[in-house]
Amino acid sequence: MIGYLYAIAHGAEWIYDTDDDNRPIFGGLDTFDFADELSGVRFERNHSDPIINRLFNPYLFYGRPDMWPRGFPLEYFSQHNHTDANFRLCEVQKRAAVQQGLVDMDPDVDAIFRLLHANPTKVSSEHFNRHAPSIILGQKMYSPWNSQNTLFHRNAFFTMFLPTTVSFRTTDIWRSYFSQKLLHLIDEYVAFYPVNAVQIRNAHNYLKDFEDEQEVYLKSGELLKFLDEWKCSQNSTANCAIELAEQFG
């Protein structure tokens, strides 16, 4: 948090959020989009569609239908899919204020996935399709994202605060969902990018991670429904952020 404030105070236009066990590859930060406008793919559905149809699973999009990111509502996973109706090609669209790059080797999955699939005696070696395009999520489209390989434009700096009343394995997921709702209020968006970093994960106790992720498993779907229905009664973005925090808390 201090690093964020230091960068903001010194006039940063972009802030890159990462972990000590991640490093850029395949072009790294240069593969993100810094121009104000771009052409590309957009994930969009009718705003009245059920939430399951407006959820985006970046791992599915990048070639891994067997995986889900930490924070994806588990009650939706088995029935969730993307169809052609979810995607459109835009000649011109605004660049995303939050850009999350996928991570090879040991991507951010939850402890349930790791307990079921990972071999704790070996280095994980998961991979995604590097040739699929970047994709921007439209209004009222949702996906969890984390603090491991994420670029923030200054228009999204006000959403960078990490909640302090939840576990370390929950805080960046809650931030991601809150951020999306607040960004939509000011016509800003989140995007996902093909792999541009790799993680050789520090040692973790999977059962301890499982314990720390309980709120993520039990409340992500509930939180998403709350945010999708929430409407701000204030006339400024700052007051909307405060109102949202107070009503959720």
d(CA 166, CA 175): 11
Beta strand extents in the chain (DSSP E only): 14-18, 22-24, 37-43, 87-94, 98-105, 135-137, 149-153, 190-199
CA–CA distances in Å: residue 223 to residues 39, 44, 146, 157: 32, 20, 16, 22
- Written in H, E and C, the secondary structure of 108-143 is CCCHHHHHHHCCCCCCCCECCCCCCCCEEECCCCEC
The domain spans of the chain are 13-248
3-state secondary structure of 147: coil
User: What is the reported pTM?
Assistant: 0.95
CA-based max dimension of the chain? 54
In tens digits, the chain (249 residues) has pLDDT values of 788 999 999 999 999 999 888 899 999 999 999 999 999 999 999 999 999 999 999 999 999 999 999 999 999 999 999 987 789 999 999 999 999 999 999 999 999 999 998 776 666 789 999 999 999 999 999 999 999 999 999 999 999 999 999 999 999 999 999 999 999 999 999 999 999 999 887 777 899 999 999 999 999 999 999 999 999 999 999 999 999 999 876
